Structure 1
């Protein structure tokens, strides 16, 4: 699985908004500067997130962006889906829509299992978890495995 720059930036921007809480809305420029995200690229991401119902925006001198709902009710998966679409796809196709034959037939349950595990992690971690640096125990346990930090 590959996390796109767009998804990475979107999660980072959402975390910046989560950390701000219910304060004044944050301007895109401030988010871009704080997270070292190209401003124009961030504007497009924030628009995707607004259309996806994750952020709200207000125009004007006191305008900016804020989360549309509590950080504890927005998962990392929610953010990624809004900006990039399905979490796991094969050649741009969702696994249940695939068919394989012969020796390749066992690929389908593998792709489904992969999707289930990705969902379990990304749906199980909220912006509030990340903003408070308190990952769920199951996710922390996975990250604490020594092999998780090395590339084969």
Structure 2
């Protein structure tokens, strides 16, 4: 699996918005804070807005806010908004394609991997990424990642 720059930037935008929910943030401010190219960020934010993950307000007091609560936005929602399907094989969602033997078990593996990724990405929210509570879904992933050598 490959996490695209679009997904990485989208998650960083949403975490920034969730961390400072008291006021709207501008794309310029987020781009500078997160060191993301402004033009690229604008297209990512547009996709997030279309998906309802962010909302915008024009004017001198304008900017962007989360479109719904951070606890209601999963990483799977973010991937779907900016990149489409979470897991594909040759550009297609793994399905019962009828692989010939001896590769017939491979399609089962692809479907299982897709389900596991959907479970992980669907189980972690933007709020989890900001939470330091030991019981959060993200906390277990952070602990697991910390144990892996860089």
Pairwise same-fold verdict (TM > 0.5): yes
Aligned to 2:148: 149
Distance in 1 between the 2:14 and 2:39 partners? 16
The CA deviation at 1:147 is 9.5
Aligned to 1:90: 89
Aligned to 1:2: 2
Distance in 2 between the 1:146 and 1:5 partners? 20
Q: Which runs of 4+ in 1 moved over 4 A?
A: 135-139, 145-148
Aligned to 1:68: 67
Distance in 2 between the 1:25 and 1:146 partners? 32
Aligned to 2:120: 121
The CA deviation at 1:101 is 1.2
Which range moves more in the overlay, 98-107 or 44-53? Answer: 98-107
Question: What's the secondary structure of 2:103's corresponding residue?
Answer: helix
The CA deviation at 1:108 is 0.9
Q: Which runs of 5+ in 2 are unaligned?
A: none
Q: Which structure's residues are more often helix, by fraction?
A: 1
Distance in 2 between the 1:147 and 1:26 partners? 31
Aligned residues: 150
The CA deviation at 1:138 is 5.5
Alignment TM-score, normalising by the size of structure 2: 0.90
The CA deviation at 1:8 is 0.4
The CA deviation at 1:31 is 0.7
Which range moves more in the overlay, 40-49 or 128-137? Answer: 128-137
Alpha carbons 1:121, 1:139 under 8 Å: kept: no
The CA deviation at 1:24 is 1.8
